[in-house]
Amino acid sequence: MPWVAGTYPVKLAQEILIWGIFAMSLDLLVGYAGMISFGHSAFFGLGGYVAALCLKHWSPSLASAVLLPAVAAGVAGLVIGYLSIRVSGVYFIMLTLAFSQMLYAAAFSTEWLGSSDGLPGVPRPSLPGVDLNLTPAFHLYVMVFFALAGVALDRIVRSPFGRVLRGIDDNAHRMAAVGYAVNRFKLVAFVVAAVIAGLAGSLYAQFNGYVSPEMLFWTTSGEALLMVIIGGTRTLAGPVLGAAAFIGLQSLVSSYTERWMLILGAVFIGFVLWAPAGLLGLVQEGAEPRA
């Protein structure tokens, strides 16, 4: 694509891939484990901030760009998940929301994190023989991590662990009754989702060359949740398709009107009412042979 398309379509595709990683990580919680989180932006933003700080002030290496942000998000996921999985339903939603807003407030008011202005000038990592400032190289770089995240999540959801998560989503009390440590499985899923979200946040920081407190704000979680619902939950292709639809529609409509959020809201309401299985469900339904 970088060799045949213009700059804008390529950047739009890169943004879709990065948000697709983020949306897939959220779907592991929402679609497979039945944990609706409005605080997933905490790990997305944390990954972005750690990548920005490490790349700017420590070393422009792959460890700074990917490994440390993912580890930091995983540690935060362990702490937040340990406290959050003790409750369920709306209490879980509000608790995860509270944690993300705490991190947002901390970033917004901390001077060495750029306060409300964020951190500009985030460099891309240096790889031997590869200049990631070139569009084709960075595009392949993002695609590699998109593929790795997708394969890893696919292996997880198809494994016995993934089947247990689906069982917990269907009936947690029954799974506990037959001997499964439900909270332990939920915590592991929460940490894995946090690690993948941290990876997405670090890639987004490198993509923009900038991080801001908005990455930690609850609306970022809301946008990812919209992508999951529009694309189709309990799938991995669905959230990516939802990310493409959301970002593509946002890009198209916002070029014609400043009230593009009204149109996106109407589209979301339409999917909830008439296509609860999402875009992927519509595609699968259309592909089924009619009797």
Flag whether pLDDT at 288 surpasses 70.
no
Q: For residue 190, how many C-alpha atoms fall within 13 Å in the half-sphere facing its CB?
A: 27
Ordered alpha helix ranges (H), 58-181: 62, 68-84, 90-109, 135-158, 160-170, 172-177
User: 51-97 pLDDT, tens per residue?
Assistant: 999 999 888 899 999 999 999 999 999 999 999 999 988 999 999 99
Q: Name which residue leads in pLDDT, 215 or 290.
A: 215
| pLDDT at residue 285, rounded to an integer | 64
Flag whether pLDDT at 284 surpasses 90.
no
Under the banding of pLDDT at 50, 70 and 90, the label for residue 29 is: very high
Q: How far apart are CA 52 and CA 211, in angstroms?
A: 7
User: What mean pLDDT do residues 136-163 have?
Assistant: 96
Contact yes or no for 279/287 (Cβ under 8 A): no
Closest CA to 14 of 28, 25, 27, 1: 1
Flag whether pLDDT at 33 surpasses 60.
yes
| pLDDT at residue 258, rounded to an integer | 80
Q: Name which residue leads in pLDDT, 47 or 258.
A: 47
Q: For residue 29, how many C-alpha atoms fall within 13 Å in the half-sphere facing its CB?
A: 32
Flag whether pLDDT at 126 surpasses 70.
yes
Average pLDDT value over all residues in the chain = 91
Q: How far apart are CA 21 and CA 223, in angstroms?
A: 13
Flag whether pLDDT at 290 surpasses 60.
no
Under the banding of pLDDT at 50, 70 and 90, the label for residue 127 is: confident
Q: Residue 202 burial by CB count (10 A; 0-12/13-18/19+): exposed, middle or buried?
A: buried
User: What mean pLDDT do residues 147-174 have?
Assistant: 95
Most distant CA atoms of the chain, gap in Å: 65
Flag whether pLDDT at 14 surpasses 90.
yes
Predicted model pTM: 0.93
Q: How far apart are CA 143 and CA 159, in angstroms?
A: 24
Under the banding of pLDDT at 50, 70 and 90, the label for residue 272 is: confident
Structure-token pair, residue 189: 């899923």
| pLDDT at residue 289, rounded to an integer | 61
